[in-house]
Copies of this chain bind each other. A is one copy, B any other.
Amino acid sequence: MAAQFSKVSETDRIGAICEALRQAIIEQALKPGMKLPEDTLGERFGVSRTIARQALAQLVAEGLVEHKRNRGAEVATPSWEEARDLFDLRLGLERVVVRRLAGNLKPEQVKFLKRHVAKEQAASNTREVISVRLATEFHTILAEMTGSPVISRYVQEICRRCGLTLTLYARPHSSDCAINEHISIIDALVKGDADTAIQLMEHHLESVANRALISPVEVQSPNLMDMLSPYADAANGNHANGHAALPRKANGKAKRAGAGKHRAR
């Protein structure tokens, strides 16, 4: 997947790099906590550190990357609470979308949506990455159909952040019924039944979120020390903590999985 010297976007290399990184992040090629050194990125994309830095800044603004001063950037690791907040926000935004679209879809738009859902169905048995991407695209397509760049932008951003949280907290494969829900939403939109469409969207997003977020999954923290601190405290004489006896899984990965040194050219 070399995004090397594509003539496609000779201008706006920053945007191209952002898009590449976004894709890599939501498809888990870059996992939360992974370091993103500026010069490595610059080298990989054939630009100077300046450009890589600006791309990273953009992704920080979008919430996909976290940045600590003098310590560089890494793929964001949203907390569980943040995940919940993001899905709440998403619902708030998509409600706006649905309300606007109800009864206002043009025939070719309906056709386009149905074709998209068909693609979702076709992909439901293949690689999960594909079906997840298509499922997300359904929502961004809806947002774009409002014709509002602003709405579209925010919905996209939140959807991507939700996608990132799902990579952290969702258990594999639970998007089967989602496709039917997409169909129901289209139907309600065509009928112009805004309230029903909103309710369906509400139910849809809640079920997506609940399948994923029902229980905080333990995620391997990029910061081993923080993770171990309760156990360390207990080991130091205070064993009031019930989990104190939990055996440390000597996960000898003291070194966090890093982006390594890509020497690409």
Give A residues with C-beta under 8 Å from B: 11-12, 54, 57-58, 61-63, 69, 81-82, 85-86, 88-89, 91-93, 95-96, 100, 146, 148-151, 154
Q: Give A58 to B57 CA distance when docked, in angstroms.
A: 8
Least CB separation from A161: chain B residue: B150
B residues less than 8 Å from A54 (CB atoms): 54, 57
A-B contact pairs, 6 of them (CB 8 A): A12-B69, A82-B150, A85-B151, A88-B100, A91-B96, A154-B154
Interface SS, A side: helix
Q: Give A151 to B86 CA distance when docked, in angstroms.
A: 8
B residues less than 8 Å from A148 (CB atoms): 81-82, 85
**A54-B57, A57-B54, A96-B92 known; A150 vs B86 contact (CB < 8 Å):** yes
User: Nearest-CB distance from A98 to chain B (Å)?
Assistant: 10
B residues less than 8 Å from A58 (CB atoms): 57, 61
**A58-B61, A148-B81 known; A89 vs B12 contact (CB < 8 Å):** no
B residues less than 8 Å from A61 (CB atoms): 58, 61-62
User: Nearest-CB distance from A144 to chain B (Å)?
Assistant: 13
User: Nearest-CB distance from A58 to chain B (Å)?
Assistant: 6
B residues less than 8 Å from A82 (CB atoms): 148-150
The answer to whether B57 and A89 have CB atoms under 8 Å apart is no
B residues less than 8 Å from A85 (CB atoms): 146, 148, 150-151
B residues less than 8 Å from A93 (CB atoms): 89, 92-93
The answer to whether A63 and B96 have CB atoms under 8 Å apart is no
User: Nearest-CB distance from A51 to chain B (Å)?
Assistant: 12
20 extra interchain contacts, Cβ-Cβ under 8 A, other than A82-B149, A85-B146?
A11-B69, A54-B54, A54-B57, A57-B58, A61-B61, A63-B150, A82-B148, A82-B150, A85-B150, A85-B151, A86-B150, A88-B96, A88-B100, A88-B151, A89-B93, A89-B151, A92-B92, A92-B95, A93-B93, A95-B95
Tell which of B11, B81, B154 touches A89, judged by Cβ atoms closer than 8 Å. Answer: B154
Least CB separation from A97: chain B residue: B92
B residues less than 8 Å from A146 (CB atoms): 85
Q: Give A186 to B141 CA distance when docked, in angstroms.
A: 37
